[in-house]
Amino acid sequence: MALKIYPVSEKFNPERPLSEKLIATDNLVVVHFYLKSGQKIPLHVSKSEVFVTVLKGKGKFYYGDENSYEILQEEESLYYQSEEPHGFEAEEDMIVQAIITPNPQK
């Protein structure tokens, strides 16, 4: 089955980051995160591998701890290994696409 992904719409919330699950199978999950400037997805660990791409904006992408990070802008990506602590914080309004494999909820 083919799935068409439509253009990204802006679904920001001034109170907290929002997430939107685009697709979920046993093998992967694709999620969009919407963060206003200053909002943050705290450091966390997953048994899955995660590949993130900035679709809009700019932010800090933490790995290991909050002292270790990369600044990513539109069209830049970062890969996290399973069990690697990771999180991110928007320096500008930011939309991030995360491809997570395998699906951590399966």
Q: How confident is the model at residue 6, as a pLDDT?
A: 59
Q: What are the residues whose beta carbons fall under 8 Å from the beta carbon of 23, sequence distance 6 or more?
A: 3, 29, 30
pLDDT in tens, 1-60: 566 665 666 788 999 999 999 999 999 999 999 999 999 999 999 999 999 999 999 999
Enumerate helices (H) and strands (E) in the chain, giving the number of each: 0, 9
pLDDT at 105: 83
Residue 37: predicted pLDDT: 97
Distance CA 97, CA 54 (A): 6
Q: How many residues does the chain have?
A: 106
Q: Where do the domains of the chain lie, and which CATH numbers do they carry?
A: 28-101 (2.60.120.10)
pTM: 0.90
Q: Which residue has the higher pLDDT, 93 or 106?
A: 93
| pLDDT score for 19 | 95
